[in-house]
Structure 1
Amino acid sequence: MMINQIKVPATYMRGGTSKGVFFSLQDLPLTAQEPGEARDKLLLRVIGSPDPYEKQIDGMGGATSSTSKTVIVSKSDRPNHDVDYLFGQVSIDKPFVDWSGNCGNLSAAVGPFAIHAGLVDEERIPNNGIVAVRVWQVNISKTIVVHVPIVDGMVQEAGNFELDGVTFPAAEIQVDFMHPADGEGSMFPTGNVIDELEVPNIGAFEATLINAGIPTIFIDAEALRYSGTELQDDINSDADALERFETIRAYGALKMGLIESIDQAATRQHTPKIAFVSKPKSYLSSSGKPVNETDVDVLVRALSMGKLHHAMMGTAAVAIASASCVPGTVVNRAAGGGNMESVTFGHPSGTLKVGASASHNQQGWVVEKAVMSRSARIIMEGFVRVPSDIFA
């Protein structure tokens, strides 16, 4: 029996330091317009997973956590919102899509995509200026405001804004993450800005466990016997180190209440993230660009989907901003302590400045908004094709 291919309208976009395949909800096959097995099967096949070779040769994925991503956008029914944005992190070598968190980098591309796809009311788009696209992030039930530049009625993609981790400059897009802390309670799930995290057969570490942007575990680099200046190969070429990080991440997830047993961490790869921080030091970034000690407030290295990230996840940058402005956290201490409303941190590809301000009330520490600048660009648009037997 001959198997044909079906074609699905899709747009391939870069957002920040990530890339993903974007879909309008109404363009998906009917069986994939609702959450469930059919949708997951479609997205897995689009990206080229699961792939035991970990290359995703037969799909749109790029075989890294930064490029194994999918986005579904639809017009929003929520008051004061333009679109709903659902993010799926596709596992590279396993048959599952992780829906547990957001991608902060691709959040920057949701605004331009929504305009491009006709999902933002035309009267909201100026001929020249900035349109604040109001996005409901479905995975985490949060509002994101994406400030998209418009020239002659069209999204401005070209520009001079440089983002470390992205080779070419583009137009700057400000992204506001509103009330980024998880749920209605404290953004520190244990109620503490510092916890003792005990990991059997590995050790005990002072850690800041935070739910802001994305659930993240911050540990001091020295406690892990790192300098904080490491690049990808320093960590990703060390299988034992990656296994230790995954074990620490699993016990952190348990302490944060994100999982009920250690075994569940294997099916929740996207969250929480784990990161290690240190005081400022000079180093050469992955492109050879010098990062001087005086350029940054703190150094941060973060792992995503089991590997050290080449730059920084956007949602983790929100967590860094939120943790830095709360006195006493691991991040705040490494950044010099005290009250802060912005922080410039060093990552493997260079530096990034993020802003946030925190206040303390009866519920604990609260961050009203975290702000960062990204850029986004349509790389390709048209149809993505997948074998018609994927739903069988």
Structure 2
Amino acid sequence: MAKVQIKIPATYMRGGTSKGVFFRLQDLPPAAQQPGAARDALLLRVIGSPDPYGKHTDGMGGATSSTSKTVILSRSQHADHDVDYLFGQVAIDKPFIDWSGNCGNLTAAVGAFAISNGLVDLERIPDNGICTVRIWQANISKTIIAHIPVANGQVVECGDFELDGVTFPAAEVQIEFLDPAEEGDDGAMFPTGNLVDELELPDELVAGGKLKATLINAGIPTIFVNASDIGYTGTELQEAINGDAKALARFELLRAYGAIKMGLIDSLAQAETRQHTPKIAFVAPPASYVASSGKKVSASDIDLLVRALSMGKLHHAMMGTAAVAIATAACIPGTLVNLAAGGGERGQVRFGHPSGTLKVGAEAECHNDQWQVNKVMMSRSARVLMDGTVRVPEDY
């Protein structure tokens, strides 16, 4: 008997500078409604991974870390929340989905999807105004609040809010990441207890075998290093890093050493099974540069420069979760991020990334020499690109 394709209700959405395939949990085949091999196999087939050609021609993925993403949403099982949000980062060239972290960019689309797909109680949706969607981020067990504009009971997607890294304007979506620190075994935002650590590395990685780093669990586990310490200026665009295989291999090894220092893995080899986290980023004081769009970014318009890698490649803009880490570290005096921004106490920063700039804010306080960040705020946008059904072969 000839094989057939099955149809699964799905929505293809842009959120922030990412896009992915969104599902309601209840719409997935029964075997895929639970975590495990069946779910992973289905989502890999939807995206088109693994693809040795690196194109995702036979799937919905876009063959970049920003576009190889899946989201599963359901009515929340947690009190005082509307929707449970599970994110899967799909590897391009490997049969692997990383469930270890959140996608901050796609978070901007979660509230809109939840409203439009019956996951938010009708009495919580105003006819006109702002709908406050309470999101439980299941990957990291954190609360996120999304403020979604609504008109005539429908989500507003069109508007004049411009987000660097996104071609067209859209409606602004304000997001609050509450208590964003990812608590480790000791509950510390800084897993080593230090605002700045010194990584011990092979001399071939860094001259002298030592590298300063800020290791932080906020939004997503992130390793921040100084651009100048690794031979960069902080004004680099994608081609300067992604076209250099040796540079990418070096960053991956630096990421692995940082992950060990953070207690996330036990050996360098384990980094291959934890590609989504931690992130690695490099920072520098303000400098003028031309963004990938051709837009001129002036040093006077930003507080610092940040470049971050995701899934082994320099990101074309900035991951939303890494932006949470940047905001958190920037508001804590003494971190490398804070020092690159000029040091001192600050409640917000505007940083330069390859596609332009982004402003983020944070509320932080120190108790008994322990820093706590109550929330991080930023604005993004989101839009439905297509909805209907996605098809996969029945023997996926």
TM-score by length of 2: 0.98
> 1:115: which partner in 2?
115
Q: What's the offset of the Cα at 1:199?
A: 2.0
Q: Give yes or no for the alignment of 1:310 onto 2:316.
A: yes
Q: Give yes or no for the alignment of 1:219 onto 2:219.
A: no
> 1:102: which partner in 2?
102
Q: Deviations over 1:265-323 (max 9, x none)?
A: 00100000000000000000000000000010000000000000000000000000000
Cα distance in 1 for residues equivalent to 2:110 and 2:277 = 21
1:237-252 alignment to 2 at 5 Å? 237-252=243-258
Q: Which amino acid counterpart does residue 202 of structure 1 have in structure 2? A: L
Cα distance in 1 for residues equivalent to 2:370 and 2:90 = 34
Q: Does the 8 Å contact 1:236/1:242 carry over to 2? A: yes
1:198 aligned to which of 195, 200, 206: 200
Q: What's the offset of the Cα at 1:198?
A: 1.7
> 2:292: which partner in 1?
286
Cα distance in 2 for residues equivalent to 1:340 and 1:290 = 25
Local SS of the residue matching 1:89: strand
Cα distance in 1 for residues equivalent to 2:80 and 2:151 = 24
Q: Does the 8 Å contact 1:147/1:174 carry over to 2? A: yes
Cα distance in 2 for residues equivalent to 1:344 and 1:198 = 31
1:23-62 alignment to 2 at 5 Å? 23-62=23-62
Q: Which amino acid counterpart does residue 27 of structure 2 have in structure 1? A: D
1:115-194 alignment to 2 at 5 Å? 115-183=115-183, 185-194=187-196
1:336 aligned to which of 336, 342, 347: 342
Q: Deviations over 1:349-375 (max 9, x none)?
A: 000000002111247111000000000
Q: Which amino acid counterpart does residue 104 of structure 1 have in structure 2? A: G
> 1:322: which partner in 2?
328
Q: Give yes or no for the alignment of 1:386 onto 2:388.
A: no
Q: Does the 8 Å contact 1:5/1:387 carry over to 2? A: yes
Q: Which amino acid counterpart does residue 198 of structure 1 have in structure 2? A: E
Q: Which amino acid counterpart does residue 55 of structure 2 have in structure 1? A: K
Q: Does the 8 Å contact 1:180/1:367 carry over to 2? A: yes
Local SS of the residue matching 2:395: helix
Q: Which amino acid counterpart does residue 211 of structure 2 have in structure 1? A: F
Cα distance in 1 for residues equivalent to 2:260 and 2:392 = 37
1:39/1:363 CA distance change after superposition, 3 Å: farther
Q: Does the 8 Å contact 1:11/1:21 carry over to 2? A: yes
Q: What's the offset of the Cα at 1:113?
A: 0.3
Q: Does the 8 Å contact 1:128/1:152 carry over to 2? A: yes
Cα distance in 1 for residues equivalent to 2:121 and 2:87 = 22
> 1:16: which partner in 2?
16
TM-score by length of 1: 0.99
Cα distance in 2 for residues equivalent to 1:235 and 1:308 = 6
Local SS of the residue matching 1:389: coil
Cα distance in 2 for residues equivalent to 1:181 and 1:26 = 30
Cα distance in 2 for residues equivalent to 1:23 and 1:362 = 44
Cα distance in 2 for residues equivalent to 1:363 and 1:23 = 43
> 2:360: which partner in 1?
354
Cα distance in 2 for residues equivalent to 1:198 and 1:240 = 20
Cα distance in 2 for residues equivalent to 1:64 and 1:334 = 29
Q: Which moved more, 1:52-61 or 1:197-206?
A: 197-206
Q: Deviations over 1:92-121 (max 9, x none)?
A: 000010000000000010000000111000
Cα distance in 1 for residues equivalent to 2:369 and 2:220 = 19
Q: Does the 8 Å contact 1:249/1:274 carry over to 2? A: yes
Q: Does the 8 Å contact 1:129/1:149 carry over to 2? A: yes
Q: Give unpaired runs (5+ residues) of structure 2.
A: none
> 1:207: which partner in 2?
213
Local SS of the residue matching 1:160: coil
> 2:268: which partner in 1?
262
Cα distance in 2 for residues equivalent to 1:250 and 1:85 = 28
Q: Which amino acid counterpart does residue 346 of structure 2 have in structure 1? A: M
Cα distance in 2 for residues equivalent to 1:80 and 1:130 = 18
| Aligned Cα root-mean-square deviation (Å) | 0.8
Local SS of the residue matching 1:242: helix
Q: Which amino acid counterpart does residue 90 of structure 1 have in structure 2? A: V
Q: What's the offset of the Cα at 1:324?
A: 0.2
Q: Deviations over 1:222-254 (max 9, x none)?
A: 001101000000000000000000000001001
1:160/1:38 CA distance change after superposition, 3 Å: same
Number of equivalenced pairs: 390
Cα distance in 2 for residues equivalent to 1:218 and 1:357 = 20
Cα distance in 2 for residues equivalent to 1:92 and 1:77 = 32
Q: Give yes or no for the alignment of 1:232 onto 2:238.
A: yes
Cα distance in 1 for residues equivalent to 2:82 and 2:369 = 30
Q: Does the 8 Å contact 1:340/1:357 carry over to 2? A: no
Q: What's the offset of the Cα at 1:84?
A: 0.2
Cα distance in 1 for residues equivalent to 2:253 and 2:200 = 11
Cα distance in 2 for residues equivalent to 1:336 and 1:218 = 16
Q: Which amino acid counterpart does residue 190 of structure 1 have in structure 2? A: T
Q: What's the offset of the Cα at 1:72?
A: 0.2
Q: Which amino acid counterpart does residue 8 of structure 2 have in structure 1? A: V
